[in-house]
Amino acid sequence: MNASYSTIQVSPLSPALGAEIDGIDIAAGVGDDQFAELRQAFVDYSVIFLRDQDITEDQHIAFAERWGAINVNRFFQPVATHPRIAEVRKEPHQKANIGSSWHTDHSYDGLPALGSILYAREVPSVGGDTLFASMYAAYDALSDGLKRMLSTLKAEHSSRHAFGAGAYAGTDTEDLGGRLGNTAAATQDAVHPVVIRHPLSGRPALYVNGDFTVRFEGWTKEESQPLLDYLYAHARQNEFTCRFRWRRGSMAIWDNPATHHCALNDYHGERRLMHRITIEGEPLAAFA
């Protein structure tokens, strides 16, 4: 990892991934040199965290646009005054949270999201942490034989089962009310390599996830599921992860092709309100 930063202070959170960044004040402005180092830290650590940011919705959007084009989420409730920002919200009376299973954002898109920028506007007194896992580390720890086999495979990803008309069968739709919807828009299907060459780092990363991957291309779902389940369990091993405790004004910026994440649902009876902007990505190439 790159240790030569002159305009920011970088404090790693774990050996696998994650770093807290000091010296950034988004509201006051981030110069080009400082932004270049921030982007390098994003490449080096896969997820970076900023504390004590006091920003408006417009400042959140302007900061996100420096990273790339904004991908507007189809299924989350948008902020009423700023529809390019998605709400990730849980009210005190609601039981389910959003993002409680390990996943990577927008893998069902033909151009999967490069990054997500999540900003904490209201957090519980305790709980509501987010876990992140490195898909570089997960790939590196596989056996050589499994790496060789996976390098020949592609996988199908879809939004249909996750956000479509049948996605919420058996769930309390009242509990999800006002947070998720637009089921008719869940028509996205995409095929990506199982082992990708990361577009920024050039490193190999494992690219399947439990929320959106359906099966290996050319395999049945029944044939695919045992191996997929193994890879999901492998990828979330403790030594590949870091954990972030939120405070009001905290921001996380994570690399979707290089990470999985999981939002803990352990703060019942309290409100948690986050604002998320997703950054458009590019086609993913196989690592060969």
Selected catalytic residue, list 44, 105, 109, 255 = 105
Q: Contact at 8 Å (CB) between 5 and 34?
A: no
261 catalytically annotated: yes
Q: What is the DSSP string of 156-214?
A: EEESHHHHSTTTTTTS-HHHHTTTB--GGG---EEEEESEEE-TTT--EEE---TTTEE
Q: Contact at 8 Å (CB) between 283 and 226?
A: no
Amino acid at 86: A
Q: How far apart are CA 270 and CA 264, in angstroms?
A: 13
Q: How far apart are CA 57 and CA 63, in angstroms?
A: 10
Selected catalytic residue, list 60, 74, 103, 272 = 103
Side-chain half-sphere of 86: how many Cα atoms within 13 Å? Answer: 20
Selected catalytic residue, list 74, 121, 192, 276 = 276
**Distant-in-sequence, close-in-space partners of 79: CB < 8 Å, separation ≥ 6:** 57, 85, 86, 87, 275
Q: Contact at 8 Å (CB) between 15 and 44?
A: no
103 catalytically annotated: yes
Amino acid at 117: I
Q: How far apart are CA 90 and CA 69, in angstroms?
A: 27
> Would you mind telling me the total number of residues written for the chain in this entry?
288
276 catalytically annotated: yes
Placement of tokens 């997500």 in the chain:
116
Q: Contact at 8 Å (CB) between 211 and 263?
A: no
Q: How far apart are CA 256 and CA 114, in angstroms?
A: 5
Selected catalytic residue, list 89, 179, 215, 261 = 261
Q: Contact at 8 Å (CB) between 276 and 118?
A: yes
Catalytic positions: 103, 105, 261, 276
